[in-house]
Amino acid sequence: MSKASEVISSGAEKLQQSLNGSLEGKKVAQLASVTKDYHDPKNRITTDYGVVQSNTDEWLKVSTDDHTGPSLLEDHMAREKINRFDHERIPERVVHARGAGAFGTFTLHKSLEEYTTAGVLTDTSRRTPVFQRFSTVLGSRGSADTVRDVRGFAVKFYTDEGNWDIVGNNIPVFFIQDALKFPDVIHAGKPEPHNEVPQAQSAHNNFWDFQYLHTEATHMFMWQQSDRSIPRSYRMMEGFGVNTFKLVNKEGKAHFVKFHFRPHLGVHSFVWDEALKLAGQDPDFHRKDLYDAIDSGCFPKWDFGVQVVPEADEQKFEFDILDATKLWPEEEVPIQFVGQLELNRNVDEYFTQTEQVAFCTGHMVPGIHHSDDPLLQGRSFSYQDTQLSRLGTNWQELPINRPVCPVMNNNRDGKGRHTITKGTVNYWPNRFDSAPPAKPEEGPHVAVDYPAKVEGMKARLRSKKFREHYNQAQLFFNSMSPPEKAHITAALAFELDHCDDPVVYERMCERLTDIDLELAQNVAELVGASIPQKAGRPNHGKTAKNLSQTELQPKNPTIETRRVAILIADGYDAVAYNGIVAALKAAKALPFTIAPRRTPIYAAGESKESGKGVKPDHNLEGMRSTMFDSVFVPGGADSVATLRKNGRALHWVREAFAHLKALGATGEGVELIKDACALPGMDFSTSGEITDSYGVVTAAKVQPQSFKETAQMAKGAKDFVDAYLWNISQHKNFDREMEGFPMMVAF
């Protein structure tokens, strides 16, 4: 008997037993009258009005076997499915409920007038105000920031021609090709319906059941299982428009386009154990990180770029450029970086700004248009409908959503109406010729529909290229560095280990053979599945640039906004402490003093009566190493002796070491580092010479001149500050991981 059948049988028995009671039985019977068994084999999918459906996976479109065309408004089943999904949650967002936002400015460095008439992309003299919202997808508003999940990356541009919304993610592709599947993929990822478990994670049967049964999701789940889904900071994520749009220039010529945002700080992630611990230790880590960076004047910045393909070249690629489960490799379509996005002002009130901001993919300004991307076509219907449900008819009149340009139309009334419109008519045409539509010749700010040619049959189908689902999944995995491949293996093993239905993890290990046989074998061994012996399909061996995070580093090494913990106790070396604090601040890093207590700590030779002690920012129990990018231990015999007897201090260093973070120590502080991570192959300084061993930088003897405020960060530097700060700038020391050191320490 299957697991589902056992559940049904058990439920039926319990129901019958309950019915034997009188009053209680009546209530159970009443509930039973409105209870349906989803697993009844006689069931077939119907509409809410009872009509049995033969296809609820493809929106009705005008298509041919070679081209997927526009979706049709007449498809009532599709609109009902999306509409019902949009209204499932009261009052929070169905997806992207957990978010953080900030205001900023978009500037254009190079005009794109060759491709578009949109002023925001052609006028280099403008400074366009923006509001940006970051988010997780699956969790509720009360979930943690650092869960494994896709991150939303949505930008609202308040342009002179109206609002333009790029409603994107930190991953360039998506799970599905057709918007009609969105309710299904989210239902499968959300907590399971029978017990509302698990919250804000994909490690469960239903999610992975969906992934196996929808081969189009293969490419995306590889990204989702990579380091991209546990970012170190919103400020260290790429942003992607995901969908394919069209740009149209003043000659009426069209180009397909994808939008990109690349962070100045590079693309960096947590390691998994770090993300897990932070979810409990500081569930607001990402939103605090964003707020603190802006508040301190370290404004996050992204380079804005476009990939552009002439309309005539649509069919020249082996993949369909309208398919949201595919990326455009940079080798084939280079990114042109033409502008900059900067976030420079925090919100004044979370609810009225971050929570009430509402995005819609259909918000495009003249010169930017829809393509026939079937995911985009449905999103533009769905997002409008969702905002109506969540915020009401007049949601675009809320201050955070209101455009900066004039608004005039014949929409009236409804709940929450702000605008007062004077006049005696509210329709067009009218006897006064008031508020007429503009003529196209009035200027590029006037919306004119692009006359795209449409041909084909009305059918629920996708073009041939949409049916290939594995090449780019292989391309992505092939492009990963060895540590990233190891992280994907571990992530899949973690996720599938949480699936208790053997059907789910057995089939997923089979699916992995379509990507890489060794990956499939390693995961199968870890999760207890049958070890596959044969590849599902040959791996083409191709790679692409800038898919690996190791290629997306800052142009120049930087530790700006990196959080560095300095561990001290009474009797610390004031020269080393003050020197490293000054060097970190000069490099725009954020030093934090951590001690056994939060009352003042006194340096070696400093009297407690002097009142000059350093007041720590936190005590060892109040914070953990997970909340910092690096740990430094200055010398001082008494200080280090105290810390060496403190198990929590030892754990701090050990945990930071296991999480691949840069460690620094001088003088007697080297001994604490050795206590934590003196493993075969690790080296430590015993003199005035510095030792850099797998990102652990030590100098047993230091002089005041060893510390300087101006650091020349460089690999192999001979100066302690230069070497230590360079290692912080590298984010993680993955060589340490590849040597297996993290597995040798208890953390």
pLDDT in tens, 499-545: 999 999 999 999 999 999 999 999 999 999 999 999 999 999 999 99
Q: Which residues are part of a known binding site?
A: 383
Tokens representing residue 553 in the block: 């580093």
Cα separation, 258 vs 638, whole angstroms: 59
pLDDT category, 352, cuts 50, 70, 90?
Answer: very high
Q: How many CB atoms lie within 10 A of CB 421?
A: 12
CA pair distance 493, 225, nearest whole angstrom? 10
Percent of the chain with pLDDT over 70: 96
Stretch 323-335: mean pLDDT: 98
Percent of the chain with pLDDT strictly greater than 90: 84
Its pTM stands at: 0.91
pLDDT at 725: 96
- Per the annotation, binding residues for heme are 383
Report pLDDT digits (tens) over 480-504.
Answer: 999 999 999 999 999 999 999 999 9
Q: How confident is the model over 201-222, as a mean pLDDT?
A: 98
Query: CA–CA distance from 340 to each of 106, 167, 308 (Å)?
Result: 6, 17, 18
Q: What is the pLDDT of residues 151-185, one digit of tens each?
A: 999 999 999 999 999 999 999 999 999 999 999 99
Could you tell me which residues are beta bridge partners of residue 481? none
Active site residues: 96, 169
User: Cα-Cα-Cα-Cα dihedral of 378, 113, 314, 474, to 10°?
Assistant: -80
Please, which residues bridge with residue 324 across strands? none
User: Which tokens is 42 given?
Assistant: 């006689």
Of 95-104, 303-312, 320-329, 423-432, least confident by mean pLDDT is: 423-432
How many Å apart are CA 595 and CA 82, to the nearest integer? 54
The set of residues, in sequence order, having a beta carbon less than 8 Å from that of 208 and lying 6+ positions away, is 202, 495, 496, 499, 504, 505, 508
pLDDT (0 to 100) of residue 8 = 47
Buried b (16+ CB within 10 A) or exposed e, 560-582: bbbbbbbbbbbbbbbbbbebbbe
| pLDDT over 80 (residue 692) | yes
Coil, helix or strand at residue 632:
strand
Surface-to-core class of residue 653, CB atoms within 10 Å of its CB (0-12 exposed, 13-18 middle, 19+ buried): buried
Side chain identity at 550, as an amino acid letter?
Answer: T
Model pLDDT, residue 27: 67
Mean pLDDT of the chain: 93
pLDDT tens digit sequence for 118-153: 999 999 999 999 999 999 999 999 999 999 999 999
Report the pLDDT value the prediction gives residue 680, as an integer from 0 to 100: 96
For residue 663, the one-letter residue type is L
